[in-house]
Amino acid sequence: MLAPPFGLSRRAIDNLEPLPEEDAVMWKPLPEPSMLDNYLVTNQIATYCDQLNFASSEAIQKLFLMEAMQKANA
């Protein structure tokens, strides 16, 4: 089956009525998030970043320590 020409739908080519658009009343608008939710999510992200910073700095310290020990033994 070939694609319809540019700007025409398959239904228009077959002389069928276009499909109805979705009723906007069916979908409720999303409520605006509260300031508390915003604060909690921001705090969770900050805590996660602090934990990552701590873990990565420990790993880098261990790496430099092992490099220094290898140089001392060589």
**CB of 8 closer than 8 Å to CB of 14:** no
Asked whether residue 66 carries a pLDDT value surpassing 70, the answer given is yes
pLDDT of 6-64, one tens digit each?
A: 667 777 788 888 777 766 667 788 889 899 999 999 999 999 999 999 999 999 999 99
φ, ψ (nearest 5 deg) of residue 22: -65, 140
DSSP per-residue codes, 14-62: TTPPPPPPPPGGGSPPPPPPPHHHHHHHHHHHHHHHHHHHHHHHHHHHH
**Using CA atoms, how far apart are residues 31 and 71, in angstroms rounded to an integer?**
61
Q: How much is the pTM? A: 0.49
